[in-house]
Amino acid sequence: MSRADDREFHEFVEQRMERWRRSAYLLCSDWHTADDLVSMAITKLYRHWRAVRHADNPDAYAQKVLTRTWLDERRRPWRRERAAETLPDQPEAAVERVHDRTSLAALLASLGPRQRAVLILRFYFDYSAEQTAEILGISVGTVKSQTSRGLSALRA
Amino acid sequence: MNKQLFDELVEDAPPSTVDVAGIVGRERRRRFGLRLTGIAAGLAAVGVVAGLVVQNPATSPSPPAAVAGGFRLVSDTDASVEQTARRLEQALDEALRATAPDARWRRLFKHTAADGEPPMINGKAAADVAQQVYSGSQGVETGDRRGMLRFLISSPTPCTPGAVVQCEDASSMAEYWANYFTCAANQPVCAVGTLPDGRRTKAVSTGANRHRASVELPDKRVLAVEVSNRFALNKPLDPDGAPLTLDQTEAVARSVAGRILP
């Protein structure tokens, strides 16, 4: 990669860093892990910079890399562990209504990683069902079905 | 659920710890290494063929330069930075093995060096020495204790472009530098010393959890090694303390600094 490419890459990353960090945090609910995810995504983007640069929509390409990095990481056994001081004696209650940041955080925490990603891409980044399906590598029907719970919460 | 609620969720974002320059540096080094491997393989093949054709001892290649000896911090081009960074990695690895034979390098993150390998040190090419920086981090494990070793070569001299500490006027530079290797009142566990060639050293400890050793380099930059009980940002601190003692931390810093030639 030439120095001009490097400069272009740095500018690309710099302009989107905060958006990626916010996106990663919404996915994983932890700023340290979010920064790890963004670092991994940046590494992948650098390795495939020419493909990113020539993509029809570089932003969507980058979002795809970031989201899939999260999903890949989430499949690792140690990522599935959640530390807790005490064991829950009751099942977690389903979130019925989303009216503030606390209930939104609870809703996101109650969802699986892919369903969480669907809601974030659809409702926060305004991607269409088709774009969301492309980013996540799933069918449009799956996106729509996984969106239904979020919509139900909206209407509650 | 609307955008505003999402924005409220992320409004307390802490400062970013994403090191873009470090990532790019590592990737450039990775590519450089792959190219070198290819070139070396090609040269080896040519050498074998040539050796079979012409038996001429006068043409045998010279041995690699300064594998176990000293080296200079050459940082004027990307290639020289890569070479210097690798020598620093090797020196750091050997220093740890000699100082703490039971210590092991441990991978910190997915894209850092693998288990058993020293930190991937990244450097920055620049004409001005004050702007030539080398840094790297890697996990260290000794018995049940696990933490992180951070390595840094930088110019702490103020009033110099690119220096870690800036100042408003050049007159305070001499005083700042003169006091750099002295122990402050709020550093109860602190020792200063000198190397045989007169270069100054300083070792500071914050309890059992964090040790930092600094050594003056011939060009007035500082080499620092810091060892703490923090293995990774998203992992709990090791309650048993840092994996190396202050003495070991200082020995590692002195060993690496001792191999850097003027």
For residue range B126-152, what is the model confidence (pLDDT) as tens digits? 777 777 788 888 999 998 888 999 899
Q: Does B65 touch chain A (CB under 8 A)?
A: no
Q: Which residue's structure tokens are 């659809």?
A: A122
* Averaged pLDDT for residues B238-257: 91
Mutate: best of A75, A101, A115, partner B, most B CBs <10 A? A101
pLDDT, tens digit, 9 for 90 and up, residues A1-49: 677 788 889 999 999 999 999 999 999 888 888 888 898 899 999 988 9
Q: Does B58 touch chain A (CB under 8 A)?
A: no
Q: Which residue's structure tokens are 């810091």?
A: B226
Q: Do B20 and A25 touch (CB under 8 A)?
A: no
Mutate: best of A12, A27, A31, A97, partner B, most B CBs <10 A? A31
A50-59, B111-120, B148-157, B170-179: segment of lowest average pLDDT: B170-179
Quick check: ipTM above 0.95? no
Q: Structural domains in chain A? A: 1-80 (1.10.1740), 97-156 (1.10.10.10)
Residue A80 pLDDT greater than 50, yes or no = no
* Averaged pLDDT for residues B30-38: 62
Nearest by CB: A47 against B9, B27, B233: B27
Distance CA B234, CA B137 (A): 15
* Averaged pLDDT for residues A94-112: 69
Q: Do B6 and A35 touch (CB under 8 A)?
A: no
Residue of chain A whose Cα is closest to the Cα of B236: A83
pLDDT, tens digit, 9 for 90 and up, residues B43-62: 555 554 444 434 443 333 33
